Amino acid sequence: MKKVLIISYYWPPNSGSGVQRWLKFSKYLKKNNWDPIIVTPKNPYSELFDEKLSEEIENINVLKFPIWEPYSLKDKIFGKSTKSQNSGLVSKDKSLKDFCLNWIRGNFFVPDPKKYWVKPTTDHLIKYIEENKINHIISTGPPHSMHLIGLGVKKRFNHIKWIADFRDPWSKLDLLDDFYLTKRTRFKHIQLEKQVLENSDLVLTVSEKWATDFKNLGSSNVKIIKNGYDKQDFIDFTISKSEKFVIGHYGILNHLRNPIELWKSLNELCKSETEFNNRLEIHLSGNIDPKVIDSINSYEHLKDKLHLLGFLNHKDVIKAYSKTSLLLLLLFNSESGKGNYPGKLFEYLATKLPILAFGPENSDVQNLLKNSYGSYFSYDDSKNIKDEILLIFNKKIKYKHIEDDRFTREKLTLDLVDILDKL
C-alpha cells in the first residue's frame, strides 16, 4: 500500500468544516490502496470538539506534534474571548483593544498564528520521511502555515510529490482586510503564497473560480475536487413531518453573511400571511455573531421565532436537517465568495430538501443551483424573496435532486486517487 502524509491542523476530535474534507478522504483512501498518515497538532487551540467524529478513524496512523499558539498568551493578558479563534468570527467592534488585537494578529503572525508549528514539524517530518520512505505529501489550508511545512519538506526532498490543497483562498481572502494589513505584510502573504504555488507539484482546490485565481497567481498545475457528502452519514436519514415551517442554518454565521433582506421578507410575510406566521421557526446552530441575532430580533414578528440550538456535533446536524423545511446557505458576499463551495451545500443536496442560498452574483454555487437544485439570491435582492418562500411554503415549487454519486465523498476520493497515481 502506497503512503501519503497529510498535513492538517484540523482533525478529530476538532469540529467544523475544516475537519470533514480530509477525514472523509482518509477514510476512503484506505479502501483504494493508499495509506494516509495524518500530521496534526497534539494540543491545538480549539473550543469546539466532536468526539463522535473520532469513531470514523479506523486504523489511520496519526502523528501528533506539540504546538504553541499566541492565543494562549492573549487569553492570559486579556482573558478568554467569547468568540472562537477558529470560528471565522473576526471582531468588527470599534474599540481600541479589538483594533489592536486584529492589527497584531494580521501583521505579526504571517501567514497565521500557527506559524510557530512550521519549523519543528518540518524537522520532525524530514526525519520521519527518511525513515519511512514517503513519496507523497499533502498540505491543506487554511491555516496556510500548513503549506509552509509542505514547502520545507519539498525543498529538502526533491523526489517528494507535494499537493497543496486550498479549501479557501490565501492572498485573495476577503477576511484579510479585517486585520488591517500593512502593504509590507500583504506583500509577504503574496510572496509566501507564490512560493507554495510555484514549488508544489499540484494545487488542489474546491471550485472553478478559485482554480482560475491560483493559475493566475502562479500555479502551473491546478485540479478541482469539490467538497461533498458521505452517503454513510445519510443511511438512516428520513425527513420528519411537522406542522412547523422551519428555516435552518447549521454552522458558523458571521457579520459578513447576514441576510438582512431575508429577515425583512420573513417579517413582512408574517404580517400578511397568518398561517405562515403561525408555523414559521428559524433554527440556528453553532457560533452565531451577536449582530446576526440582533438583526433578527429587531423584527417584531421574528423575535419569538428564533431558536438558537447551540453547538451540534456532526451527527446531530444531520438530524437537524431532517427537521428542517428550508435549508439556508449563506456565502461570503464578496469576490472570494464567488468560489466558495461549502461542504454544507452538498450535504443539503443529499437531503433532497429545498435550499435557499444567498451570495454574490455569478458565483459557482449560483451556477450549480441553476440546475434547479434550489433558489439563489443576492444579498441586496428585495423583490423576489417573499414570492419564492411562499411557493416553497405552499409546496408549489419542486426542485430537481441529484440522482448520481458525483458529489459523494467516496466518488471524490477516487478522483484524488487518480491524481495521486498519476503524479
For residue range 99-121, list pLDDT tens digits in order.
888 899 899 999 999 999 999 99
pLDDT the model gives residue 58: 81
Q: Which of 134, 172, 125, 178 is nearest to 153 (CA)?
A: 125
Whole-prediction pTM? 0.92
Contact at 8 Å (CB) between 343 and 369? no
Q: Which of 305, 352, 306 is nearest to 326 (CA)?
A: 352
Distance CA 277, CA 299 (A): 13
* Type of residue found at 243: E
Q: Characterize the bridge pairing of strands 61-65 and 202-205.
A: unpaired
Segment 349-368 mean pLDDT: 94
Q: Which residue reads 463551495 in cell numbers?
A: 341
Q: Characterize the bridge pairing of strands 202-205 and 161-166.
A: parallel
Q: In what order do the strands lie in the sheet with 355-358?
A: 306-310, 280-285, 245-250, 326-330, 355-358, 375-377
pLDDT the model gives residue 72: 65
pLDDT at 246 over 50: yes
pLDDT the model gives residue 57: 82
Residue 174 CA to its chain's centroid (Å) = 15
pLDDT tier at 74, thresholds 50, 70, 90: low
Cα angle for residues 225, 229, 234 (degrees, 5° grid): 165
Q: What percent of the chain has pLDDT over 90?
A: 75
Segment 311-317 mean pLDDT: 94
User: For the chain, what is the HEC assignment?
Assistant: CEEEEEECCCCCCECCHHHHHHHHHHHHHHHHCEEEEEEEECCCCCCCECHHHHHHCCCCEEEEECCCCCHHHHHHHHCCCCCCCCCCCCCCCCCHHHHHHHHHHHHHCCCCHHHHHHHHHHHHHHHHHHHHCCCEEEEEECCCHHHHHHHHHHHHCCCCEEEEEECCCCCCCHHHHHHCCCHHHHHHHHHHHHHHHHHCCEEEECCHHHHHHHHHHCCCCEEECCCCECHHHHCCCCCCCCCCEEEEEECCECHHHCCHHHHHHHHHHHHHCHHHHHHEEEEEECCECHHHHHHHHCCCCCHHHEEEEECCCHHHHHHHHHCCCEEEEECCCCCHHHHCCCHHHHHHHHHCCCEEEECCCCCHHHHHHCCCCCEEECCCCCCCHHHHHHHHHCCCCCCCCCCCCCCEHHHHHHHHHHHHHHC
Neighbours of 97 (CB within 10 A): 10
pLDDT at 76 over 70: no
Give Dmax over CA atoms of the chain in angstroms: 71
pLDDT tier at 98, thresholds 50, 70, 90: confident
pLDDT tier at 404, thresholds 50, 70, 90: confident
Segment 317-328 mean pLDDT: 96
pLDDT the model gives residue 88: 41
In terms of pLDDT, which residue wins out, 85 or 293?
293
Q: Which three cell numbers stand for residue 47?
A: 473550543
Residue 216 makes CB contacts below 8 A (sequence gap 6+) with none
Q: Which three cell numbers stand for residue 379?
A: 444579498
pLDDT at 69 over 90: no
pLDDT digits (tens, 9 = 90+) for 184-227: 999 999 999 999 999 999 999 999 999 999 999 999 999 999 99
pLDDT the model gives residue 350: 95
pLDDT tier at 245, thresholds 50, 70, 90: very high
Segment 372-389 mean pLDDT: 91
Q: What is the mean pLDDT of the chain?
A: 91
pLDDT at 84 over 70: no
Q: Which three cell numbers stand for residue 346?
A: 452538498
pLDDT tier at 93, thresholds 50, 70, 90: low
Q: Which domains, from first to last, does the chain contain?
A: 2-228+409-422 (3.40.50.2000), 231-393 (3.40.50.2000)
Q: In what order do the strands lie in the sheet with 222-224?
A: 61-65, 34-41, 2-7, 136-141, 161-166, 202-205, 222-224
Distance CA 227, CA 25 (A): 10
pLDDT the model gives residue 77: 61
Q: Which of 145, 141, 140 is nearest to 117 (CA)?
A: 145
Q: Which of 47-51, 57-61, 80-84, 368-372 has the lowest mean pLDDT?
A: 80-84
pLDDT the model gives residue 86: 41
pLDDT at 167 over 80: yes
pLDDT at 401 over 50: yes
Segment 226-254 mean pLDDT: 94
What is the number of residues in the chain?
A: 423
